[in-house]
Structures are given as C-alpha cells and as structure tokens.
Structure 1
Amino acid sequence: MPGVNLESPNIPHGTLTSGTVVGICVASVAIFIMFAVTMYHCYRRKRPSIPHGPVQKQPSQVYTRTKPIASPDLSSPETHPKSSPLAPTKSFPQPRTPSPVQPDLKSPMKQYVAPEGSDNKLDPSTFNKDCYTEEGDEEMCKSGQDDSVDIINENCPLGEIEFSVEFKKDKNVFMVTIHKANCLPIKDDQTGTTDPYIKLCLLPEKKHKVKTRVLRKTLNPIYEETFTFYGLAYNQLQGVTLHFVIMSFDRFSRDDVIGEVVVPLANVDLSNKAVSLTKEIKARNPKVPKSQGRGELLVSLCYQPAANRLTVVVLKAKNLPKMDVTGLSDPYVKIFLMYNGQRLCKKKTRLKKRTLNPVFNESFLFDVPLEGLENVSIEFQVLDHDRVTKNEIIGRLVVGRKEGESANRHWSEIMHNPRKQIAEWHKLTD
C-alpha cells in the first residue's frame, strides 16, 4: 500500500483562519445587541409612561384635619358616681360645627351696631373686636364662654351664679340647669383668669353629686348644662337643699375652692313652671370662732407593762362645732403614738355622718418602748370629712406626762394603775 502523508499542511504561526474571524464577529455583534437592549430597558424604566390619547386632568382633592375634641372629664380628678335610682343624667348644649372647607366671606371692614340708648357712640372699654359681625350680630360670643372685660362688683367679691330649677310632674323628675357664673375672682396670676367648674350636691343626703365641665381661662363661664334627678316626689323637695361649690381647676395640685351657694327648696315654688335664680357666691366653711368651743372627747387608756402595750379606746365625743352647711359634721378621729415629740404610729376610727355627738366605741393597740411611758404621749385629732375639699381639723387633744393638767392627771393614773381601763373626758383645743 503506498504511503499516505497524513500530516497537516504547514500553517505559519501568528495567522488566523477564516472560521476564527467569523466567530469573533458573531460574538461581537451579539454582545452589542445585548448591551443595546439593556440600555433601552433602563431608559424605559426611568422615563414616565405617556398614555395614548387626550390627557384627562384629575380633580384636586382637599384634605382637612379634624380637630381633636378634648374630654370634659379630664379636669376632673373624680370618678363618676355609682348608678342609683336617683342618679342624675347630664345633657350638654349642641356645639356649632363649621363646614370643613368654607371660604372666609367676611369683609375686612366690619360695621359695629351700637345698642339702643347709647347715642350711637362707641365705648372703647366695652368694645370687643371678636364679638361683632357685619350685621351687628353678637350670637357668636354668646355660646361657649364670655371673654369680655370683667367688671368687679364690690358687693359680690366672689361673683354669682345663674341657674334654674324645674319639676316635671308627668315624668316625676327634678331638673337643675346651671347657666353661667359671673365676675369670678382671679386664681391664676399669670393669665389673670381661672379655670372654673361647678359641683352640685343634694342635701341632706349628700349621695347624688354632679359637676359641670371645666372652662379654661375665663372669669365669666357659660355652661348651659342640665342635670336630671329621678325618683324624687314633689312633696320631698321641701326638705331638699341645693349645694353649689364653685371650684378652680389646678393641674399640678389640689383644686381651689372659690366659694359656695346654698339654696333651700322650701322657699321655691315649683308647682307651675321652671324658676330662674341668681345667687351670690359666699366664702366656704368659715373657721370656727375662738369663742366657740371645740367640743369634748371621751377616751379610755390601759397600760400593760409586761407586754409593753398601751390600749386606747375612743368612746365618743359631744358638742362638736357645726362644720357643714347642714348644721352638722361628719367626724372621725385620728390617733398618733408620740415618742419624744415624734409620731411613731397612726390609726383612725370609722366615719360618723351627720352628727355633732358621735359614738365610736373603737379600741386600738399600740406597742410602746421598753423604757415605759416616760417619754410617750398620745395625740388625738378630731376631723370633719369633706368630699369636695380637704378634711378640716375640728379639734385636737394630747394626753401625756408633760401636757395639760387634765391630760397629765389621766396619764399618771394609768401609769400607777396598770392593766386597768381608765376613762376620762377631755376638752378639744385648736
């Protein structure tokens, strides 16, 4: 078989064949096409889409923010009373709600209409730029609260309140409407105003208490709130007394008492229609004069040296002064164990309502120091409970070795007669 030369032809190094050149060109075209497509997609994403056809203009929307309504019970630190057959209900006046979007059509120049009999002259002292309109209508300032210039009445330094009472025989309900208060004293020196609200209580029971909302920064608040009491018969109203307490709200401390108004219904004729009344605000709870006695307290003491214990029995009190508008008091007694003038322990009796001669009959046990009763004393405080303001001290008594003649004699008797109950009357002091 003849020999065959299988060797490839001699191709010089450094030269490209036609197949290699074609492959490079195809790859370059493909890369260029991919790059162009990528750039086109990126351009389309960044550019907003343009709809075909005529462009329709979207109507603009106006968004308004609703004003939050503050809760009227936030001024009040007191919880709502429990429901009862005589529990009152309260109705508020309907506020005026303006339109959310309403152009201001008021003219920059307004016309003031003077009242009749004033010779059409403007009094600068009574002018209020927010209380007139183009037609001279002052209804805008009559709702809510009166921010006009306050006129101080010398005959009524604490102001006055206006209210009305009505009894509906068909429904057997008693209604009290608190309209407003005028010329209240200033309680906030920084703003020259006060934050008043009114509490109402039906005496003598003191069970049904209601209150108005707090109006901010005004001396002439307008409430227009109606309170309805159910379950009262018409013949029972003759023994009912309305007790209004005008308060000033204080965010950081106890609310201040402006004054009170006491209205017995025995002199009010409710047989036909509602009766409107205006009463002057009086100072609340004047202090007991020094000439009047504070009453007396009967206590019993027993010393047990083996156990180093002292038994104190608060028996009763008599001839206490009148602390309430009803002519009575709501007394209770606090007992303090004193050692070298310092209070070590405190206890108190139950509350006795509407009495000037309470009977307690309560016993308390105190642990005394090991050295005995030499430097020990017992302090008694008789207080009058008050739901509206802080409790007031009716009188106090200290029984010990270094106290008054009666207290020193009583203390010496229990020291020389251990394990024996010794009772004695003591007069209360300021």
Structure 2
Amino acid sequence: MSQDGPEIKALDRVNPSTVIALCLAGAVFGVCMVAATCFCYRRRRAANGKRQGPEQPLAFHSHRRPTAVKSPAGASSHYLKKSPSPTGPGRSPPGMSGHNTPSPTGNMPGALEAGVNSHMDQVSQVNHLPVQKDIVFTTETELQSPNREEVETNEKNTAQSASYLGQLVFKLRYKTDKNALIVSVVRCRDLPAKDPNLGSSDPYVKLQLLPDKQHKVKTRVLRKTRNPVYDEDFTFYGLNFNQLPGITLHFVVLSFDRYSRDDIIGEVFCALNTVDLSQAEKQQTALCREIQPRSLKIKSQGRGELLVSLCWQPAATRLTVVVLKARNLPKMDVTGLADPYVKIYLLYNGQRIAKKKTHVKKRTLSPVFNESFVFDIPANGEGSLEQVSLEFLLLDWDRVTKNEVIGRLDLGGSKCTGSALHHWNEVCNSPRRQIADWHKLRE
C-alpha cells in the first residue's frame, strides 16, 4: 500500500449474468420510451384534427329502426302496452336499461313519442346539440298512427285482460268404499293484485257444495303472492255415487285484508255432472277452470215484492211489525233458488236505533215468514210517528261470502213514496189497526 492512497485493482473478469440483466433492463426501458412517445404523438394529432376539421352534421341512422312506443297516457293512440315491471311501476331493475333509446332532451322513453309535432320540435333542435355517440332518432315515417283495425284489436285485448282473473287448479277423487268425495285445491295462477302498493295479494280459497250449502271449508292464507300453491285436500263423507251428478262445487277466491272485509277476487262453479266421474273412481282427476267475476245475479227479473203488516199503538208508544211473506224473488244461486231473510231497522230522526231480523228460509223464491216484531217508539210528547221510519232489507244468506241484498223498502221518512207512503199514512191515521200491504222492492 503506497503513501498516496489505496491501490485500485482491475477486474479480472465480469459475471455473464450481470451483463444479461443489464441488457434486459435497457431493452425494457427503451420499449417503454417508444410506446410513450407514440401515444403522446397520436393524442396530439387527434386533438389537432378535431380543432381543424369541419363540423360534422348529426346523421340519422336509418339502418336501425327502433320500435315506436306510444305513451300510455294517450286516449286511444297507443298500440303497444307494456306490462308492469315486477320491481315496481314504471321502474327497471337496477343496472338494466329499457329497450328504448333515451331522448336527446333527457325525457323518459315513455314520453319520447308523444306525437309527431313534439318529435319534429326535438329534431329541429338537433343542430344546436353536440355530437353524441349511439343516439338513435325515430323518423317521421315510424310515428304513423295505428289503423282502425289495430285500435279495435287493442281495445278488445285490453278488455279481455282487464276481466281476466286467473285460473284455479283442483283435483277430484271419489272413494266408493268410504262414500267420500276428495277435493284437492292445488293452486291458483295469475291472480290480480288486490294490494296496489305491493302489487300482490294474500289469497285463499273457500269451497262449499251446492245446493245444500252444508259443507264449508277453506284453505290457508298465503301472503304476498299472485300464484299461490296450496296442495290441500278436503274430504266430504256420506255422499253416495248416485248423488254426485246433482252436486256443484262452488269455489270462491278471496284476498285477506287485515283491516276490512276480505276482497273477493272471483269464483268458480264446477257441476259434477259435467265431469267424468268414472275416471275419478279409478284415479285422481285434475281440472283447471278460469276464475270468473262475482256474478250480478239480479238483472232484469226484478227484485220481488214483500208483504208487511203494521199496527201503531199510541198509548203504549209501540209499533208492531209483521213480516208475512215475499214473492217473485230473483234467482240468487246456481240452482235457481235463494235463501232469503229480512232485516228491519227502526229509524228515529234518520238514525238507526233498533234492529230485528227474521229466520232464513232455505232454497225458495216465495218464502213465508209470519214473524212479528215490536218496536218501542221514543216518547216525543206528541204521540205520533212523524220522526219515525222503517227500513226493510231482503237479503240472500250465503255461508261462504257476504250476504247479498236483494232489495229494500222504506216506510216513512223522506224516501217513502207511492204505495209505501199511502200505507204509512194509513197506519198513522188508523191507530190500533193491523194494516197489511204488498210493496215492490227497490235497489
């Protein structure tokens, strides 16, 4: 070692792996520099081309013909009505776009073609809009109104869809050794939504055997569904095979309501004389029936007449009412009969203060009641019936659903007219006399 500093020795050899690594690193660095230079050059060239090039007009793409969708708010001009989305009214599932291309003005697709004039106003503003990619406009020829046949066909389909209440699937089986009829309520399909907020229903099914109305069963309630599956069996014993042709199965489909009366969706009648019962003896027979709306049984046949007798006793301030009979009642059941009874309300100053009712008369259109009722009249110091009136309701009893009003009658009060008014005046002017008269029932 010298006095000037440490001695530097020359390398005898270089490791080949070190040389290869340095070469590869230099090559990668060179490639990255070339790529960065090319990218910057192309970006600059593209920017210069956009600034210097002529403005390109917004072209109409005639090769793509989107389906023109009329707004459902139109009176009768729409010819394509979309079904509501299961995720909510007028909404698409998250992350999905509709089939219609958005309007350049930013409106919703359902209002894009509200009319030819509004569309042409949008087209006139095209030159003031920036060039956008993949925007498709509908030409004037695509906005032609549907012809008369298309409108009539659409209205017919709309009416049919509005009256369609779904289907009921059930099975029948008869066991000869036990004299038992087994009815299986399988499922319902495509029920209407009775809860508009949820777009669903809480359906269940009631079943009874006509004409006796002695057997009544019902399924469980299934929540928030329009296609409930029940698979519930109901066995009716004591039915001879020869009795089956005279029996009709009456199904009523309802939607449960926690806070009010359950909503009636519809009903299904199945007369067993229309079913091959010999097959039901051997194996289970599956049937499918379309649910029908609750029928309005009272049409042009009238509502019948009611015979009542009244007696006013001013000393005891009592009014005796005798419901004698009814006649010419409308057919309320599929059997052509009814199960009538009468409700009587006593009204004082227009308010109901007392109620009476007769017994139910089964399977008749000419019931005989012969039932007497006594009403105590509030003492008004005048000993008259000026502030008193009677309201009669003739109803058809039904074990499964709400009892239906056949007709009504008012005696006394402002609604009393015609023969009813004459009868009431005669009772008021002839105390202690029993006076009877026939009266036609009104709606």
User: Shared fold by TM > 0.5?
Assistant: yes
Alpha-carbon distance in 2 for matches of 1:259, 1:366: 40
Does the CA-based 8 Å contact 1:379-1:398 persist in structure 2? Answer: yes
Alignment match of 2:212 (pick from 202, 205, 216): 205
**Match status 1:282 vs 2:289:** no
Out of 327, 341, 344, the position equivalent to 1:335 is: 344
Moved more, 164-173 or 302-311: 164-173
Question: TM-score if structure 1 supplies the norm length?
Answer: 0.61
Instruction: Report which stretch shifted further, 335-344 or 358-367.
Output: 335-344
1:388 positional shift: 2.6
Paired residue for 2:437? 424
Q: Distance in 1 between matches of 2:178 and 2:358?
A: 43
Counterparts in 2 of 1:320 and 1:175: CA distance versus 1, 3 Å: same
Q: Where do residues 16-55 of structure 1 align in structure 2 (5 Å cutoff)? A: none
Q: Which residue of 2 aligns with 1:292?
A: 301
Q: CA deviation at 1:253?
A: 2.1
Asked if the contact 1:296–1:428 (Cα under 8 Å) also holds between the matched residues in 2, the reply is yes
Asked if residue 318 in structure 1 is aligned to residue 298 in structure 2, the reply is no
- Count how many residue pairs are aligned between Structure 1 and Structure 2: 280
Aligned mates of 1:310, 1:163 — CA distance in 2: 53
Change in 2 beyond 3 A, CA 1:401/1:195:
closer
* Higher Cα radius of gyration: 1
Distance 1:177 1:153 in 2: 29
Residue equivalent to 2:184: 177
2:332, 2:258 → 1: CA distance?
28
The gaps in structure 1 that reach 5 residues or longer are 1-124, 127-151
Give the Cα separation in 2 of the matches to 1:405 and 1:420: 21
Counterpart-to-counterpart distance in 1, 2:375 and 2:223:
49
Corresponding position of 2:359? 350
User: Equivalent of 1:242, from 249, 259, 263?
Assistant: 249
Question: Letter of the aligned partner of 1:265 in structure 2?
Answer: L
Residue from 383, 386, 397 that aligns with 1:374: 386
Task: Return the offset for 1:419.
Answer: 1.4
Report the CA distance shift for 1:422/1:387 in structure 2 as closer, same or farther (over 3 A).
same
- Structure 2 length-normalised TM: 0.60
Q: Secondary structure at the match of 2:420?
A: helix
1:325 CA displacement: 3.0
Q: CA distance change for structure 1 residues 418 and 280 in 2, over 3 Å: closer, same or farther?
A: same
* Candidates 168, 173, 181, aligned match of 1:161: 168
Aligned letter for 2:287? Answer: L
Q: Would you say the 8 A contact 1:198–1:247 is kept in 2?
A: yes
CA deviation string 1:144-165 (max 9, x = no partner): xxxxxxxx98396100111111
Per-residue deviation at 1:323?
2.4
Q: Amino acid of the residue matched to residue 207 of structure 2?
A: L
Match of 1:282, as an amino acid? Answer: Q
Map 1:122-141; keep pairs closer than 5 Å: none
| Matched-pair contact (CA < 8 Å) for 1:153–1:183 | no
The AA in structure 1 aligned to 2:411 is V
- For 1:303 and 1:186, how far apart are their aligned partners in 2? 53
The 3-state SS of whatever aligns with 1:313 is strand
Question: Cα distance, 1:401 vs. partner?
Answer: 6.7
Higher helix share: 2
Aligned-residue identity in percent: 63
